[in-house]
Structure 1
Amino acid sequence: MQFTGRRRKLTVHPQNELYGHCLQLYGQPPLENISLSEFETFAVERLKLLKTVENLGVSFVKMSEQYSKKLHAEISGLNFPFRPEVDESSLSKSQAGPSEYEKRRKDHISHFILRLAYCQTEDLRRWFIQQEMDLFRHRFTDLLPKYKTEFLHRNNLKYDTMSLEEKKKLSDQLINSSYGLSGATIVEQDFYKVPFQDALDLVRTRKVFLQGGYAYIPHQDIVTIVLNDFRTRLSKALALTARSLPAVQSDERLQPLLNHLSHAYVGQDYSIQKNIGKVSLEQIDALSAKSFPLCMRQLHKALRDSHHLRHGGRMQYGLFLKGIGLTLEQALQFWRSEFIRGKVDADKFDKAYAYSIRHMFGKEGKRTDYTPYSCMKVILSNPPSQGDYHGCPFRHSDPELLKQKLQSYKLSPSGIIQILDLVKGMHYQLACQKYFELTHNIEDAGFSLNHPNQYFMESQKLLSGGKDIKKEVEMPQKVQENAAANGASVQPQPNTTQAEEEMGDLDSYFLDE
């Protein structure tokens, strides 16, 4: 595919100019042809990186040693550029080698792909800007001073460094206005001479020396200036991208990719079943209390109380149960036994509901083996209305009602405050992860939560000392027949676009009763 209608002019934007530094402000869009496969791969890998940035930003103090170490590992693991390893002034594809060149190319192209996906709503734009800024801050801060200066000049941020004579002349003022500096460190580190209107945040907090209309900024604080510029540019760029989005979406190849990227699940697949006999129907009540995420615990309780769930709840909960190991026969027995305790008799269940359950297991219709909902799909798709119990409690519940629910589960007051603070910051998956830690009495979950079935599997591993759920032995024959197929098996995620299309097709097979 091609990003614009124009052909690329190498004489105007040669690669050694476009990718001449490991860091960019992403002012020049890519003009080359790439395949749809590469388009999706780049987008998913950058999305993984930005989600890690979000998780680390809440779990650790930003720019702390532990935060930087973990983020550096993620950047390296996904093959995005980090520190410059070569002389930036002479970089070309042949000099840098394919590895470094391709890293910078992927960084550039993937940023613009996610712009297309995350320009669609104010919430998506806000999230995208925040994660890109945190990523940029980390990468810029870790640059050596000479590379910072080169980056500023490359991007027309021509802030001059003070000479040694100037620093000695103004040393007292610089020491008094800059935190943690002494006469020795003044000589050693760079100071930038910046028009004061470009440093209003630092001026407002009295962190810099002002003279003659200029602010004198130590090198560790210049990132504040650059970040303000980056935020302004990116915010304007997203607004412009949103205006041109209808033209991009008219391409039938790109529309499904872009539509699913903003709430794509990029983790493991929890639909493939092995090792029959790990969970029985008789275990579900106990498992719901100790190993179900709050969304599924809420659905299970609603089903037991009212003996019915509307279609949104049946889809979300039914696919989750399939993912933890229920066979088709078990699922039919589970839903039938519960519904006939309410207003649905056995005959009506067989006529109105059994088909949809068989369809969910790939035994009807298109014979597709549907996958359980990821956290992002639960959060962003089909919000619950009056009488519904599906969705994410951290996203869709009133904060006061959520607080009461957490109190009823005997969570500590301090833990509830932590969860509500994460909810207030719109970190819904991190709030669920904190709920996991509090209900399992651990300090650190040790994983990034992206899927309700992941929550279940991690809970079972923890409660069983790192082992799988134990298979029950010598059960009565009837119970053996109802034994579950297995717990979720961890496999690479299939094509997410196809999965989203298939899941949408399944909606039509559920009744709205």
Structure 2
Amino acid sequence: MQFSSNTDRRNHRLHKTKIRATHTLQFYSKPPIDNISLEDFERFAIDRLKVLKGIENALLRYQKNSPEYEREMTKLYKAFLPNVARQELDNADVINQEIRKDHISHFILRLAYCRSENLRRWFLMHEMELFKYRFNQESAGGIDSFLKANNLEYTPIPENEKMSIRTELIHSNPMQNGAAVESKDYYKVPFTEALDLVKLRKIYLKNVGIHLLFSALVQHILNNGQAYVPRDDLVTIVISVFRANLSHALAMASKALPFLEEDDRILPKLSNLSRQYIGKDYSAQPSLSGQVVAGDIDGLSAKSFPLCMKQLHESLRENHHLTHGGRMQYGLFLKGIGLSLEEALRFWREEFTKGPNIDADKFDKQYAYNIRHNYGKEGKRTNYTPYSCMKIIMSNPPGPRDYHGCPFRHTDPDLLRQRLLSNGLSSEGAKEITELAKGSHYQLACVRYYELVHNVSDAGFSINHPNEYFEESQRVQGANRPNTRFAARRINTTTNTSETETKSVTKDEDILSKTADSLDDEIDEFLSNSLGEITE
């Protein structure tokens, strides 16, 4: 893949030696041979990453294959490849552009996510879900064409052959009857590629008898057997091939990474893609700026702060100090909920000067600059963004004297359980959350913490950002107060009994459906904060 410095290349013309994909569904067997601008490189990668992150959220929120899950998958797919998703295949140029985007974006993220076993596992799982959904949306003709193009010898059987083994097909699955068999299309598949379905007793094995289990006649089946697979179950076999191919390709890509080190344009971007938050931007929201003052923070922290920020706040109050990692994580979070620069300086100065070693003059010399820097008033004047869950979980783990990080990721299970109990959770709730954390379901543990703190049975969302937790907490508390509109949130303070009503911050649920042009500003902001400035 080559990179062009011309940012005006938006016509996506396809050269005859470029992408050879002729189907909207791909195994991604051949890397793209194409020229692509750095702008498109980043835009394609972010668009696909949003889809995979959306799939991750859907898997956390809904039961797989439920109507809610399928609706969410449809929404994500249409946002990513709208014309392919709607099967509007008449406009060849538009379809080729979307195939190109699909092809290139997969290989970009393949490079970004091949760096470790955990990243490879995450990428593989969510790419498989995307492929499975797309396969199930294909027409019968599209599936047959895809199988042929990828040399998969899965032969659709004619009607007369199906009727000749009708009884056996009925008996091969206890959940179906004759009418079901007659209404389905069947494929003849080599037995060795249908082992998962054999275990489930969902297929008929010729030369073996009806619905026999794998352990009975292995050798005979391997020599002679053919599996008859309904079209609905064919995805199970194809996805196994997809998994094997992609798993091998990720391993090979990880070995190729050292050869990219000489290209300082690409490697930093790949390194950052795998740990970036691509949701709502919580930096310096005009609708919130100045709405929170230093005196509000104690009251807000009791219920509206996620555990990571509550832990930092309590440590600051107790020790009158935080190390640099804690100041960055907590300070940017406070900025994101609406604490102005002036109030931030007041808050940190008051707390730090309560300690024995720091007076106002020392604070102004050693700490005030960094606070102004976080608000874009010093240095490069970058408007720094509050840390996302992924950044907190995957970067800068806390040391012995630190309190930053994700408590579900970085805290010993016994200590985590103790902290949850001290925060008022029941023994059962603390145990449930601790078990989720032990299983590396850190964000799901945070969602469960939110549900128990706010006494809701189903939060209805996944948490990808501490500021998202804060917003949702304020929203649900505002909705539960009398004479308060659902769209407004109220901030209670401990120093003033009056309440300040502010406009709600609308959750950007439609971010995935923005057009490519409207994403330009968002991408520039994202890249300036995480991937570094783009120099053409």
- Shorter-chain TM-score: which interval? 0.7 to 0.9
Give 1:499's aligned residue: 529
* Cα deviation, residue 131, structure 1: 0.3
| Secondary structure in 2 matching 1:28 | coil
Q: Relative to 1, partners in 2 of residues 1:235 and 1:338: Cα closer, same or farther, differing over 3 Å?
A: same
CA offsets, 1:111-159, max 9 Å, x none?
1110111011111101000000111111112323332222211111111
Task: State how far apart, in whole Å, the 1-side matches of 2:126 and 2:439 are.
Answer: 13
Give 1:259's aligned residue: 271
Match of residue 332, structure 1, among 315, 324, 345: 345
Give 2:472's aligned residue: 458
Task: State how far apart, in whole Å, the 2-side matches of 1:486 and 1:278 are.
Answer: 10
Structure 2 counterpart of 1:67, one-letter code = Y
Unaligned segments of structure 2, at least 5 residues: 5-12, 207-223, 480-485, 509-520
Aligned partners of 1:81 and 1:104 also within 8 Å = no
Give 2:95's aligned residue: 100
Aligned partners of 1:292 and 1:455 also within 8 Å = yes
Give 1:38's aligned residue: 40
Give 2:134's aligned residue: 139
Structure 1 counterpart of 2:229, one-letter code = I
Match of residue 412, structure 2, among 398, 401, 413: 398
Give 1:209's aligned residue: 204
Match of residue 435, structure 1, among 449, 452, 455: 449
Aligned partners of 1:277 and 1:471 also within 8 Å = no
Aligned partners of 1:46 and 1:111 also within 8 Å = yes
Structure 2 counterpart of 1:2, one-letter code = Q
* Cα deviation, residue 98, structure 1: 3.2
| Secondary structure in 2 matching 1:449 | coil
Task: State how far apart, in whole Å, the 2-side matches of 1:486 and 1:61 are.
Answer: 34
Structure 2 counterpart of 1:283, one-letter code = D
Match of residue 307, structure 2, among 274, 291, 294: 294
Q: Relative to 1, partners in 2 of residues 1:31 and 1:467: Cα closer, same or farther, differing over 3 Å?
A: same
Aligned partners of 1:325 and 1:486 also within 8 Å = no
Aligned partners of 1:274 and 1:486 also within 8 Å = no
Map of 1:208-247 to 2, 5 A cutoff? Answer: 208-211=203-206, 212-247=224-259
Unaligned segments of structure 1, at least 5 residues: 504-513
Aligned partners of 1:325 and 1:487 also within 8 Å = no
Task: State how far apart, in whole Å, the 2-side matches of 1:319 and 1:83 are.
Answer: 39
| Secondary structure in 1 matching 2:227 | strand
Q: Relative to 1, partners in 2 of residues 1:345 and 1:425: Cα closer, same or farther, differing over 3 Å?
A: closer
Task: State how far apart, in whole Å, the 2-side matches of 1:141 and 1:308 are.
Answer: 55
Aligned partners of 1:278 and 1:469 also within 8 Å = no
| Secondary structure in 1 matching 2:444 | helix
Q: Which deviates the most, 116-125 or 204-213?
A: 204-213
Give 2:31's aligned residue: 29
CA offsets, 1:177-226, max 9 Å, x none?
22522112212212222111112222233332222322222222211111
Give 2:189's aligned residue: 194
| Secondary structure in 2 matching 1:367 | coil
| Secondary structure in 1 matching 2:399 | coil
Map of 1:318-467 to 2, 5 A cutoff? Answer: 318-346=331-359, 347-412=361-426, 415-416=429-430, 419-420=433-434, 422-465=436-479, 466-467=486-487
Give 2:261's aligned residue: 249
Aligned partners of 1:273 and 1:487 also within 8 Å = no
| Secondary structure in 1 matching 2:414 | helix
Give 1:55's aligned residue: 57
| Secondary structure in 1 matching 2:250 | helix
| Secondary structure in 2 matching 1:174 | helix
Structure 2 counterpart of 1:187, one-letter code = E
Task: State how far apart, in whole Å, the 1-side matches of 2:257 and 2:457 are.
Answer: 44
Aligned partners of 2:111 and 2:257 also within 8 Å = yes
Give 2:124's aligned residue: 129
CA offsets, 1:346-375, max 9 Å, x none?
043333222222222233322322221122
CA offsets, 1:42-61, max 9 Å, x none?
10010000011111112112
Question: Runs in 1 of length 4+ with deviation above 6 angstroms?
Answer: 485-492
Aligned partners of 1:324 and 1:488 also within 8 Å = no
* Cα deviation, residue 471, structure 1: 7.6
Map of 1:71-110 to 2, 5 A cutoff? Answer: 71-79=73-81, 83=85, 85=87, 95-110=90-105
Q: What percentage of aligned pairs have identical amino acids?
A: 50
Structure 2 counterpart of 1:500, one-letter code = S
| Secondary structure in 1 matching 2:72 | helix
Aligned partners of 2:55 and 2:126 also within 8 Å = yes
CA offsets, 1:204-262, max 9 Å, x none?
33332222322222222211111111111001111111111122232122122112101
Give 1:506's aligned residue: none
Give 2:170's aligned residue: 175
* Cα deviation, residue 417, structure 1: 5.6
* Cα deviation, residue 103, structure 1: 2.0
Q: Relative to 1, partners in 2 of residues 1:220 and 1:501: Cα closer, same or farther, differing over 3 Å?
A: closer
Match of residue 153, structure 2, among 137, 153, 158: 158
| Secondary structure in 2 matching 1:216 | strand
Q: How many residues align?
A: 485
Aligned partners of 1:279 and 1:325 also within 8 Å = yes
Aligned partners of 1:192 and 1:219 also within 8 Å = yes
Q: Relative to 1, partners in 2 of residues 1:417 and 1:70: Cα closer, same or farther, differing over 3 Å?
A: farther
Aligned partners of 2:333 and 2:387 also within 8 Å = yes
